[in-house]
Amino acid sequence: GSSPHADRGRKGKDEDEYESDNLSFQNPLPSSSQKKTPTKKVNSENVKSAHLKFSSHDYEYLFQKSDLTAWNDSDRWSSVDMEATGPGPSSAPSIVLPGTVLYYSKTTVSERELTQLAQIRPVVFDFNVQSTIRDCLKMLERKEEYDIVHEFLELEHMALSSDFNYGNELHNRDKNRYRDILPYDSTRVPLGKSKDYINASYIRIVNYEDENFYIATQGPLPETIDDFWQMVWENNSNVIAMITREIEDGVIKCHCYWPISKEPLELKHLRVFLEHYQITQYFIIRVFQIVKKSTGISHCVKHLQFTRWPDHGTPASADYFIKYVRYVRKCHITGPLVVHCSAGVGRTGVFICLDVVFCAIEKNYSFNIMNIVTQMRKQRCGMIQTKEQYRFCYDIALEVLQNLLALT
C-alpha cells in the first residue's frame, strides 16, 4: 500500500545521533525496539459480574445530543485542519445541562490528590540527582525556538514504513475517520480470531529499563463503536484516555461511544454499564463495567476525558494537563493504555510523550523528547502533528523540572 505521507522521503538522523541531547539522570537512552508488537500477554484475574445496582432515581442525561445529520463524508477527507494551530481560548466543558441533578456523581479523586500527583519526584532525590537535574534544566532552557522547530522538521522528513494495506482495503475504508491517517500493518491492533481491522496501533516506548505500552487510536465512529469496545476487552485495558470533546469548533471530533444513562450500551457480544462519574474542572472520570454476554464475566474500565484542550493550539494551563496525565498513569493497572483524540496522532502523541517523560523523571532515567517521538512515529505515522504540539512537550518538561528543583 502507498503511504499517505509518501512525500516525506528524506531519511532523518538515526536515534544514536541524538544522545548528546539526552536529559540523562543515569544512563544514555537506548534506541527504539523494532520488535513486532505485542510480544507479551497481559495478566489479569477475570471476575464474575456482580449484579449492578442503579439508583432508583431517573438518571438525568448529561449530554446534549448532537445533530449528526450535518456531518457528511466530506469531513473524512483530511485531518489537516483537524487540530489547527494558533492561539485559542481554553474551552470549558459544555456537556452538563444547567440545573441537571447528577445522581451518579461520586468523588473519585480530590484536587489535593491531583496536586500531589503533579509534584513528580525521582525515587532517589539526593544531591547528585539534583545536580544532574539542574544541568538538564539548563540544557532545556538553552534550546531556542529555532532548535525545536528544526528537530520537528527533521522528524517530518524521516523515512518510515509505507505499509497501509489493511487500512486501504475497500471494506475497511469507512472505518477510518480521516483517510490520510492509517495504522501501519506491522503495528495495527487485530480484532478477534479473524484479525479484523480497526484504526488503532500498538505503541511501545523503550526508555532505559522501562517500557511503556499503549494503544493509539482514532475517536470511534458510529460504525466502529462495537469494534472499539471489543479492542478494549480483548487487550484487557483498564484505562481509556480521551483527549478531545465530542464537538469542537462546530466539528464532530468523536462520537459518543459510551452509555450516558442507566440504560447499558448494548453491543454484539458485550454490554457496557455506567457505574458512576465525577466532573472536575478540566477532565471527566467515568467508571464503566463491561460485561461479556456469553459468560457474564465483567471488566472495570476507567474513562478519563480531558475537556480543556482548546479548539486551536495547545492548553493554556500546563498544570491541568500535567495533573491529567499523572492521574491516568495512577489509574493504570492492566493492558495497554488506550489513548485517543480525534485522529489518534496529535494530542494522543503529546499525551504519550509526556507520560514517558514523567515516568523517566520519577525513575531517575534519561529522556529525550526527539527520540520518544521518533519511536512513536515508527509505530504510527504522524504522531505529534504540529510544531506547536512538539514545543508544548518541551514547555511541560521544563515546567516539571523547574517545579522539582523548587522543592529543594
pLDDT tens string 144-191: 999 999 999 999 998 777 799 999 999 999 999 999 999 999 999 999
Q: Quick check: helix, strand or coil at residue 264?
A: coil
DSSP H helices, 60-144, are 111-118, 127-142
What are the catalytic residues? 341
Q: In the chain, where are the structural domains located?
A: 15-40+112-406
| Per-residue three-class SS string for 287-322 | EEEEEECCCCEEEEEEEEEECCCCCCCCCCCHHHHH
Please answer whether residues 213 and 337 qualify as being in contact, where contact means their C-beta atoms are separated by less than 8 angstroms.
yes
pLDDT tens string 213-232: 999 999 999 999 999 999 99
Q: Are strands 337-340 and 239-242 parallel, antiparallel or unpaired?
A: parallel
What is the distance between the alpha carbons of residues 345 and 393, in angstroms, rounded to a whole number? 14
Please answer whether residues 218 and 340 qualify as being in contact, where contact means their C-beta atoms are separated by less than 8 angstroms.
yes
Cβ-based burial of 41 (10 A; exposed 0-12, middle 13-18, buried ≥19): exposed
- What mean pLDDT do residues 284-295 have? 97
pLDDT tens string 23-52: 544 433 333 333 333 333 333 333 333 333
Instruction: State residue 288's pLDDT score.
Output: 97
Please answer whether residues 329 and 323 qualify as being in contact, where contact means their C-beta atoms are separated by less than 8 angstroms.
no
CA distances from 336 to 20, 147, 216, 225, 313 (A): 31, 33, 10, 19, 28
Instruction: State residue 322's pLDDT score.
Output: 97
CA distances from 305 to 21, 36, 240, 241 (A): 33, 30, 8, 6
- What mean pLDDT do residues 65-93 have? 36
Instruction: State residue 359's pLDDT score.
Output: 95
pLDDT band at 106 (very low <50, low <70, confident <90, very high): confident
Any idea which architecture 15-40+112-406 has in CATH? Alpha-Beta Complex (3.90)
- What mean pLDDT do residues 256-281 have? 95
Those residues whose C-beta lies under 8 Å from the C-beta of residue 17, and which sit 6 or more positions away, are none
pTM listed for this prediction: 0.77
